[in-house]
Amino acid sequence: MMIQRWIVGLISGCALSLALPSYSQNNKPLKIIVPFAVGGASDTYTRLVSQKVSEQTGRTIIVENKTGAGGRIAFDYVAHQPPDGTMAVLIDATYAMLPGLFNNLTWDINSDLVPSAFITQTPFVILVRTESPYMSLKDLVSAAKSNPNQLNYGSAGVGSTNHIVTERFNASAGITLTHVPFKGMSEANFALQSGNIDLIVAALPTALSGIQSGKLRPLAVSSLKRSALLPKVATAEEQGITGFVTSNWFGFAFPKGTPKDQIVLLHDQVNKALSDNEVKEKLSAQGAEIINLSIDDFGKFVQDDTKRWTDITKSKQIKIN
């Protein structure tokens, strides 16, 4: 009996020793490139999830910010890296808007970066200052229809996410607002609070401080259902604006040709990290919603979102030279 136990233990030990190198090889170190600055939503979500993946798996993940050109520098850089599974890039709604804004991108958005793991999405919020006469979305839309081009909105610049999202709102509501571009959303936010513009459409994490301080009034959220952080704020759909259901979303992608097992590995590790209660709480505190998408569904999501934004930029003739 003792000999049998020893043999079983020896076989189990050998099997474990054989499995460990394989796991280590498949769990290779990973660098994730973030196209935007430290402290923004893209950076915050990437670091939160990456840290949890490292804690849960022991995998070494390095987050590096490579900013510039509205994300194009980072996307182009990663798209042309060796597809060995050691580098990924954070993609978001901005990524899906680029084909409609630029005639000649240096990579093919449909094939050169392969979506792997969807992280989260956050709704946009239509905001006016608290002293605004527009108490509801209906008030705002009625005033805009009665006075075309008289109401104005701020954005982070021509071709920025906020610019294009607001034009989609205009199209859905059947109104025409005058665009006032700023150097960033902080300037647009300040202009709104100062009464120099009438409204902005901002991502919920960006809008939260103004709402919580009582300086900004939220009129609607762009999600399909109400935000848990703003349960009293109705969606645009609920208020009769059909077609304005959109989000600022975030996920990871690899260069074309990356081995399937590396794409699947990161997908599975990210989804496990997103199931952690601490991660859930931190994302929820910013109004972010976790959605588990398969790799194929994430790829289709990016394609569909790209088409939606391209249709808007073409119809509104928004281009960046």
Residue 116 sits in the same domain as residue 252: yes
Please check whether residue 1 lies inside any domain of the structure.
Answer: no
Half-sphere exposure of 108 (CA within 13 A, CB side): 4
Please check whether residue 15 lies inside any domain of the structure.
Answer: no
Please check whether residue 77 lies inside any domain of the structure.
Answer: yes
Distance CA 17, CA 29 (A): 21
Which pLDDT belongs to residue 211? 96
User: The domain that contains 156 carries what CATH number?
Assistant: 3.40.190.10
pTM for the whole thing?
0.88
Mean pLDDT by 10 residues, the chain (321 residues): 39 36 64 95 96 97 96 97 98 96 92 97 97 97 97 95 97 97 94 97 94 97 95 97 96 98 98 98 95 96 96 93 67
Residue 113 sits in the same domain as residue 129: no
Which pLDDT belongs to residue 61? 98
Which pLDDT belongs to residue 20? 34
Give the closest residue to 255 by CA, choosing from 131, 51, 115. Answer: 115
Rounded to 10 deg, the angle between the 93-101 and 72-79 helix axes is 90
Residue 113 sits in the same domain as residue 139: no
Which pLDDT belongs to residue 16? 34
